[in-house]
Amino acid sequence: MGREKDRERAQARTGGKGKGKDDGLTPEQRRERDAKALQEKAAKKAGQSATGGGDSGQKSTKK
C-alpha cells in the first residue's frame, strides 16, 4: 500500500507528467526537428565567423 501512495505523491510533485521527455512526437519527427535545429545553429555560427564576429581565431570552450 505504501508504494502506491509514494507513486501518487511523486506524480503530484512532477505535475502528473509521467515520463517528462515525451512531447507527443514520434522518434522520426523528433529526429527531424533536432536535425533542423542543428542546421540552424551551424548556419548561425557560420554566419558569425564569416563576419568575423566576436572571438575570431580563438577556440570557444563553451558547450
User: For residue 46, what pLDDT is reported?
Assistant: 87
What whole-number distance in Å separates Cα of residue 57 and Cα of residue 9?
Answer: 53
Whether the pLDDT of residue 6 is over 70: the answer is yes
Instruction: Give the range of the structural domain holding residue 15, as residue numbers without chain letter.
Output: 3-48
What whole-number distance in Å separates Cα of residue 53 and Cα of residue 17?
Answer: 42
In the structure, what pLDDT confidence band is assigned to residue 14 with cuts at 50, 70 and 90? confident
Q: Is residue 62 part of a domain?
A: no
Q: Is residue 63 part of a domain?
A: no
Q: Is residue 16 part of a domain?
A: yes
Q: Rounded mean pLDDT of the chain?
A: 78
Q: Please count the structural domains in the chain.
A: 1
